[in-house]
Structure 1
Amino acid sequence: MNAEKKLTNESKGFYKLSQVQRIGFGSGDLAQNLIYQTVSMYLLIFYTNVFGISAASAGVMFLVVRIVDVIWDPIVGTFVDKRNPKMGKYRSYLILGGIPLTGFAILCFWNGFSGSLFYAYSTYVGLSMLYTLINVPYGALNASLTRDTDEITKLTAVRMFMANLGGLAVGYGVPIVVQYFSPDGKINSKESGEAWFITMTIYALAGLAMLVFCYTQTKERVVMDEKETENVKVSDLWTEFKHNGPLRVLAFFFITAFAMMAIGNSAGSYYMIYNVQAPEMLPYFMALGSIPAFIFMPLVPAIKRAIGKKQMFYVFLSIAIAGMAMLYIISIVPALKTQIWLVFVAQFVKSTGVIVATGYMWALVPEVISYGERATGKRISGIVNALTGIFYKAGMALGGIVPGLVLAYVGFDEKNNVTQSAFAERGILWLVAVVPALLLIAAMFIISKYKLTDEVIDKINLEIGAR
């Protein structure tokens, strides 16, 4: 009887996944984070202190790259939804995009054309476009594995565990590896240029290996057939956004969440080097941005069952804001700022809230895809992920330009790799604690408008399966 029920459910798309399949899928996010988190945490300080670009020029470049993404993402989303490559509708791009992405990631951290804005723009734009060519179909791959909401929750928990494993490898590992290869033992000096190149080469090649593993362990089962994909067009993106209310809520949540993460991540290096005056502790500070994932992400399915997903967002966003408030208070009280352990406690609290709230938001993407599918009859996973990609990159654009402009405003001296003025230190503190906290308050209001409960989603998926 159970076997018969399982076959019936699977015929409607409610597939159960093995732990190996979940880990395999999560390896794709680990791979992308080895590049994304390195860019998010360290590209700005590499550009300003090593490559020799002003903070304002780097901030403008980050904005320009995100504008390119806004144009590029829907093109990629439509492209992958309309095509059915032999290697897999979505998973094929893990390989086809992964190989050139590896090369551009390495070139981004090469100091051979030091100070050249043309070189910086060329390599960063190329990196970003190739990242999209992997990230959009990878996001769509999530929704193609199963319709089962419990399985999606488990899959997301494993995926975020793996993603934060990548974040830990970057946050803790990158400064240590760069310092090891750097002749002066610093990460923010001109002399560390070759060390950055070697480090990114190691991380990019490791990421490529993880993408290959992800490709081998995933199987697409819930996708449109070729006849349905013939009707997919770029304008579906705007139609979907107009008629899919939950997607709009999720999109604006993505903007605020990714802006918050981009600002906080890029400012972390400056904060530990110049405000706390403890560059040797930077790896540990950055590692605490990922460590809570290994404690709390495995508990997410149980937490969600106990309090519901919306309450879970409220609780963990509040925890993140509390951690940022702690960081701010510690940093303005001289007697507290010297207590590194207090800084670490505040960072752990902040990261706990951020990781769970921003990690679980990915589980909502398959929900809004199903919501749109019931209304239109099209399961346009690529286009929906392109839309979420546009909005999270809009958040990254905000998160990319704000630190550069704030540092320029407060008179950050990129030639000084030891100290900054009191006003510059205050600007760095705004970027670490104040601006991210304000964005999280906005995110809490936005997520309050999300109406899709688990019961509603299960009903939608059953209706689609009955067709």
Structure 2
Amino acid sequence: MAARTVRPIHYIAYGLADVLGAGSMAVVAGWILFFYAAFCGLSATEASAIFAISRILDAIWSPLLGHFSDNLGNTWIGRRFGRRRFFLLVSIPLLPSFALMWVSGHSFAYYLFTYIFFELVYASILVPYGTLAPEMTDDYKKLSIFAGVRMLFAQVSAILAGILPKMIISVVGGKDSPDTFLYMGIIFSVLFMLVVTITYLFSWERELPPVKPGAVTEKKSPLDALTGLYKGVGSTLKVRAFRLHLGMYLGGYICQDVFNAAFTYFVVYALFGSVAVASTMMGAMAFTQLIAVAAFIPLILWLQPAPSYRLACFLYAAGIIGLYTLYKINPANVVMLLYIPVLIAGLGRGGLNFIPWNIYNYIADVDEVVTGQRREGIFAGVMIFTRKTTMAIAVMVVGLMLDASGFHQGAKTQTPEAINMIVGLMTVGPLLLLAFGAFVSFRFKLNKHTHATLMATIARFKSGETSPASEKDKAIVEDLSGFSYDSLWGNNTVLGTKK
């Protein structure tokens, strides 16, 4: 069967689902710690417990979803509804659970349950969603456009996450009301249901090979299945390009998580602003990120991923240093001047958000040359688990360090020690993480040209050729995979046994 034609509507429909992916994470990273402390009476320790418990459960759930989606094609359900898209379909009616997280005045148990439930629903969509672009095409340029459109919609949702609280305040009043966040949760819940539905309707998956008559599926005990699953998770880290990609991904995203968690405190207590000012600045930053993603889509094709990533690191670092400079100078019109470093930081953040997910679309190809199999699901599971775990840890660390510094929730002013901690969290931590990501990027060699070599090598293996086309091609594939050429195409123990 011929490959389906990818049209503009398909790029748009695919990208829309990341309004859920990035939008919910932007809201949680930017506001949940503040909401828990200001309106729910939770301490930083209690908030940290919520994040930690949810991560323990997610450590099982996200990789399990990836494993299930990789294997659902062997069932009637997978062949009828799609081994990836099926999970999107069944999760749509559960998305209003996002609003339940933002109801004030309940117990620790309530916030623990609602946070965990939404996190599991989130993973049930984002893990299979992360596999859809490679399912729909294997063309390098089209995959880059898919990633770019996805990030454009992600930045639109981040803009909403930044400015929606202020918009709600201006409409319903109640500057210090928890209802602001509840209304925000309801609006996002409706939006999430709409975009995931559109993605489901306008996406597809690669055609699966027919089931052979009389084929018998090997039955495994639950323990054997779970053991095999986590061996599969560990096997992803044996692929060199994926390890380096994770380093860049974590450097670029954790620095934003720490920054986001500390930024509202920085504006309110270090610069003596307000939640509304912080919301405005986050919205302005997100708007610049949207412009940056649009600029990085063609730039990454010309400059290639690793150099583009380093440019994004430089811009974000410049913005952070600019914010610190304003804090030290403390000019009279500081709120207006804040726009300068905020907008510069937004340019860098847009690139850092786009580039790792652009790269991710090609990782399954590197894995295929190693294993001879398509395992998009397990890689998506590892990516989503890593993303949510590091975000929760970042928010948790910020809360614990604020408590340790003597920060007092609800106080209009803070001690010098607490303010120094806020400033340090927003500057030193992100700058170190950016430096780490930039360092890793110098070793990352996957780009348009090396990907073409990779795909040509896969084609050779499929045709029965076992020798490389040239020594140059051999070196490229060995660098990307981390394996010697004669160990590729399943001739290794990555999956437990050789072919």
What is the TM-score of this pair, normalised by structure 1?
0.89
Q: In the superposition, relative to structure 1, how do residues 174 and 96 fare at CA in structure 2: closer, same or farther (>3 Å)?
A: farther
* Residues in 2 aligned to 1:325 and 1:80: alpha-carbon distance in whole angstroms: 43
Q: Deviations over 1:76-102 (max 9, x none)?
A: 1111111133222212222312321x2
Q: Would you say 1:258 and 2:249 are equivalent positions? A: no
Q: Is the 8 Å Cα contact of residues 256 and 395 (structure 1) preserved in structure 2? A: no
* Residues in 2 aligned to 1:225 and 1:427: alpha-carbon distance in whole angstroms: 60
Q: Would you say 1:67 and 2:56 are equivalent positions? A: yes
Q: Is the 8 Å Cα contact of residues 62 and 381 (structure 2) preserved in structure 1? A: yes
Q: In the superposition, relative to structure 1, how do residues 38 and 301 fare at CA in structure 2: closer, same or farther (>3 Å)?
A: closer
Q: Would you say 1:434 and 2:428 are equivalent positions? A: yes
* Residues in 2 aligned to 1:407 and 1:343: alpha-carbon distance in whole angstroms: 23
* Residues in 2 aligned to 1:80 and 1:391: alpha-carbon distance in whole angstroms: 18
Q: Would you say 1:211 and 2:196 are equivalent positions? A: yes
* Residues in 2 aligned to 1:455 and 1:449: alpha-carbon distance in whole angstroms: 16
1:390 CA displacement: 2.7
Q: In the superposition, relative to structure 1, how do residues 43 and 224 fare at CA in structure 2: closer, same or farther (>3 Å)?
A: farther
Unaligned runs of 5+ in 1: 1-9, 187-191
136, 160, 166: which one aligns with 1:145? 136
* Residues in 1 aligned to 2:352 and 2:93: alpha-carbon distance in whole angstroms: 32
Give the match for residue 122 of structure 2: 131
Q: Is the 8 Å Cα contact of residues 328 and 434 (structure 1) preserved in structure 2? A: no
Give the match for residue 476 of structure 2: none
Note the 1:25-44 alignment, pairs <5 A.
Answer: 25-44=14-33
11, 29, 39: which one aligns with 1:22? 11
277, 280, 284: which one aligns with 1:284? 280
1:179 CA displacement: 5.7
Q: Would you say 1:301 and 2:294 are equivalent positions? A: no
Q: Is the 8 Å Cα contact of residues 168 and 290 (structure 1) preserved in structure 2? A: yes
Give the match for residue 96 of structure 2: 103
Give the match for residue 457 of structure 1: 451
1:393 CA displacement: 2.6
- Match of 2:285, SS state, is coil
Letter matched to residue 327 of structure 2: S
* Residues in 2 aligned to 1:458 and 1:16: alpha-carbon distance in whole angstroms: 20
What is the TM-score of this pair, normalised by structure 2?
0.83
- Match of 2:84, SS state, is coil
Q: Would you say 1:267 and 2:262 are equivalent positions? A: yes
Q: In the superposition, relative to structure 1, how do residues 230 and 454 fare at CA in structure 2: closer, same or farther (>3 Å)?
A: farther
Give the match for residue 88 of structure 1: 82
Give the match for residue 413 of structure 1: 408
1:172 CA displacement: 1.0
Letter matched to residue 371 of structure 2: T
Q: Is the 8 Å Cα contact of residues 289 and 349 (structure 2) preserved in structure 1? A: no
- Match of 1:404, SS state, is helix
1:65 CA displacement: 2.0
Q: Would you say 1:446 and 2:452 are equivalent positions? A: no
159, 183, 191: which one aligns with 1:168? 159
Equivalences, count: 445
Give the match for residue 200 of structure 1: 185
Give the match for residue 156 of structure 1: 147
Q: Would you say 1:339 and 2:339 are equivalent positions? A: no
Q: Is the 8 Å Cα contact of residues 310 and 447 (structure 1) preserved in structure 2? A: yes
Give the match for residue 3 of structure 1: none
313, 319, 334: which one aligns with 2:315? 319
Q: CA RMSD in A?
A: 2.4
* Residues in 1 aligned to 2:448 and 2:307: alpha-carbon distance in whole angstroms: 13
Q: In the superposition, relative to structure 1, how do residues 194 and 242 fare at CA in structure 2: closer, same or farther (>3 Å)?
A: closer
- Match of 2:331, SS state, is helix
* Residues in 2 aligned to 1:430 and 1:295: alpha-carbon distance in whole angstroms: 28
Q: Is the 8 Å Cα contact of residues 317 and 353 (structure 1) preserved in structure 2? A: yes
1:229 CA displacement: 13
- Match of 1:335, SS state, is coil
Letter matched to residue 131 of structure 2: A
* Residues in 1 aligned to 2:34 and 2:268: alpha-carbon distance in whole angstroms: 11
Q: Deviations over 1:340-364 (max 9, x none)?
A: 2221111111121121122111011
Q: Is the 8 Å Cα contact of residues 164 and 293 (structure 1) preserved in structure 2? A: yes
Give the match for residue 397 of structure 1: 392
Bigger RCO of structures 1 and 2 (CA < 8 A, at least 6 apart) = 1
* Residues in 1 aligned to 2:184 and 2:216: alpha-carbon distance in whole angstroms: 41
Give the match for residue 495 of structure 2: none
Q: Deviations over 1:254-312 (max 9, x none)?
A: 33333212111122222222222222322320112211233222222321233222111
Q: In the superposition, relative to structure 1, how do residues 180 and 358 fare at CA in structure 2: closer, same or farther (>3 Å)?
A: same
Letter matched to residue 217 of structure 1: F
* Residues in 2 aligned to 1:221 and 1:264: alpha-carbon distance in whole angstroms: 39
Give the match for residue 185 of structure 1: 175
1:318 CA displacement: 1.0
Unaligned runs of 5+ in 2: 219-224, 463-499
Q: Deviations over 1:235-258 (max 9, x none)?
A: 452453243111111123333333
* Residues in 1 aligned to 2:345 and 2:217: alpha-carbon distance in whole angstroms: 46
1:104 CA displacement: 2.0
* Residues in 2 aligned to 1:258 and 1:211: alpha-carbon distance in whole angstroms: 23
Q: Is the 8 Å Cα contact of residues 297 and 356 (structure 1) preserved in structure 2? A: yes
1:144 CA displacement: 0.9
1:368 CA displacement: 1.3
- Match of 2:410, SS state, is coil
